[in-house]
């Protein structure tokens, strides 16, 4: 459980050749809140998330966790600080069962002879997976089958759970409900809410504005590589979000 985890980006600049993907972008994600990161296509959302999850290095600007400046030179470094990312493209291994997916890359081994790593401890992984799925409210029809045979919503819930289980501070979710039906979408959003309620800072990247307003506590808007507006979701209408995304409404000076 996290009781801290304020993540901040200050004035991030990132260029790809002649393209300025981020032009002094700032951002804040607070513990125990869902912060939606929205913006039109090409606004810089993915680039910002990549910088904040260690997949890209900004050219300039600073990143702070709990008020202290941090260097994120790899996704492993970010994970080491409790920052996890759920990608849009469902990073699960379809041929493995849900428990094995939860522990993918972080497998539990039994102690072998002379302290060497022994066999995979499947029973322990399964026990912990059942516990974690219950905690996060992930209900699976069958936990003994390859995840590829589950529904899209169940697969996505496992993908979300997999990052969340290891995240102690911040989780980025890039369009976690894209391509899901209405009921499946609700199930994934319930998992998102539970994670938030455990005190993690959840960052939701979404193009679905009704979904943003139903699940987010705060909304930060990027436009042309800079933050242009911030909203408290409960006081905000869909039109306000659209106005900020298109540039009709500007609260903050773009860098």
Ligand X SMILES: Nc1ncnc2c1ncn2[C@@H]1O[C@H](COP(=O)(O)OP(=O)(O)OP(=O)(O)O)[C@@H](O)[C@H]1O
Residues making contact with ligand X (CB under 6 A) = 16, 19, 21, 39, 41-47
| In the complex, minimum distance from the CB of residue 157 to ligand X, in angstroms, rounded to a whole number | 23
The CA-CA-CA angle for residues 143, 149, 155, to 5°, reads: 70
| In the complex, minimum distance from the CB of residue 58 to ligand X, in angstroms, rounded to a whole number | 12
| In the complex, minimum distance from the CB of residue 20 to ligand X, in angstroms, rounded to a whole number | 8
The CA-CA-CA angle for residues 195, 201, 204, to 5°, reads: 80
User: Which residue matches tokens 């200050």?
Assistant: 10
User: Which residue matches tokens 């290095």?
Assistant: 57
Nearer to ligand X, 20 or 217 (CB): 20
Is 2 in contact with 31 (CB distance < 8 Å)?
A: yes
| In the complex, minimum distance from the CB of residue 225 to ligand X, in angstroms, rounded to a whole number | 7
Nearer to ligand X, 18 or 141 (CB): 18
- Of 26, 23, 88, 15, give the one whose Cα is nearest residue 57: 15
Q: Which sign does the torsion angle of CA 234, 239, 241, 247 carry?
A: negative
Query: Would you state the structure tokens that stand for residue 168, as one six-digit string?
Result: 């102690």
**Complete DSSP assignment for 229-253:** EEEEGGG--HHHHHHHHHTSS-SS-
| In the complex, minimum distance from the CB of residue 254 to ligand X, in angstroms, rounded to a whole number | 14
| In the complex, minimum distance from the CB of residue 44 to ligand X, in angstroms, rounded to a whole number | 4
Nearer to ligand X, 35 or 46 (CB): 46
Nearer to ligand X, 160 or 245 (CB): 245
Nearer to ligand X, 48 or 99 (CB): 48
Nearer to ligand X, 102 or 224 (CB): 224
Q: How far apart are the first and last CA of the chain?
A: 36
Strand order in the sheet with 34-38: 83-86, 170-174, 201-205, 34-38, 218-223, 226-232
Nearer to ligand X, 161 or 228 (CB): 228
Which is it for strands 7-16 and 19-29: parallel, antiparallel or unpaired?
antiparallel
| In the complex, minimum distance from the CB of residue 91 to ligand X, in angstroms, rounded to a whole number | 17
Which is it for strands 60-65 and 7-16: parallel, antiparallel or unpaired?
antiparallel
């Amino acid at each position: 459980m996290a009781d801290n985890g304020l993540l901040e980006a200050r004035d991030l600049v990132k260029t790809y050749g002649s393209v300025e993907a981020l032009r002094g972008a700032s951002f804040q994600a607070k513990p125990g809140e869902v912060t939606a990161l929205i913006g039109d296509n090409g606004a810089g959302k993915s680039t910002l998330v990549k910088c904040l999850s260690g997949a890209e290095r900004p050219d300039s600007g600073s990143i702070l966790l709990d008020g202290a400046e941090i260097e994120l030179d790899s996704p492993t470094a970010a994970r080491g600080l409790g920052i996890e990312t759920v990608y849009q493209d469902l990073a699960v291994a379809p041929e493995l069962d849900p428990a094995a997916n939860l522990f993918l890359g972080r497998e539990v081994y039994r102690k072998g002879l002379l302290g060497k790593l022994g066999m995979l401890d499947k029973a322990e992984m399964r026990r912990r997976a059942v516990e974690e799925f219950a905690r996060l409210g992930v209900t699976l029809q069958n936990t003994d089958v390859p995840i590829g045979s589950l529904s899209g919503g169940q697969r996505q819930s496992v993908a979300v759970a997999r990052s969340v289980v290891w995240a102690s501070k911040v989780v980025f979710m890039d369009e976690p409900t894209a391509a899901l039906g209405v009921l499946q979408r609700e199930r994934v959003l319930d998992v998102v809410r539970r994670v938030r309620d455990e005190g993690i800072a959840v960052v939701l990247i979404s193009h679905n504005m009704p979904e943003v307003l139903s699940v987010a506590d705060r909304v930060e808007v990027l436009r042309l590589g800079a933050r242009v507006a911030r909203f408290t979701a409960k006081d905000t209408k869909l039109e306000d979000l659209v106005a900020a995304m298109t540039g009709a409404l500007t609260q903050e000076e773009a860098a």
